[in-house]
Amino acid sequence: REGNNVYGGAVNIAARIAAASEPGEVLVSDTVRSLGRTSADVTFDDRGEHTLKGVGEPQRLFAVRGGG
């Protein structure tokens, strides 16, 4: 961390995932999906593998859907 800036691999991946999302869509990695799938009223739609700039391996991304 430097001032108000945060750096690191996880921050880079999060920024790339956010950039891959459509307007109004929340995308998460498989790791986040695994941690969140026990939450009530939350489901995940598989969006397939994405190649993210600066990330070595393709990442499977999921769109978050709330129960509402």
The predicted-structure confidence for 48-57, as pLDDT tens digits, reads as follows 999 999 888 9
Average of per-residue pLDDT values in the chain:
89
What is the pLDDT, as a whole number, of residue 67? 67
- pLDDT-derived band at 1 (thresholds 50, 70, 90) equals low
The predicted-structure confidence for 30-43, as pLDDT tens digits, reads as follows 999 998 878 778 88
What is the pLDDT, as a whole number, of residue 38? 80
Q: Is the pTM of this model over 0.85?
A: no
Query: What are the DSSP calls for 4-66, one per residue?
Result: TB--SHHHHHHHHHHHHSPTT--EEEHHHHHHHTTSTTEEEEEEEEE--TT-SS-EEEEEEEE
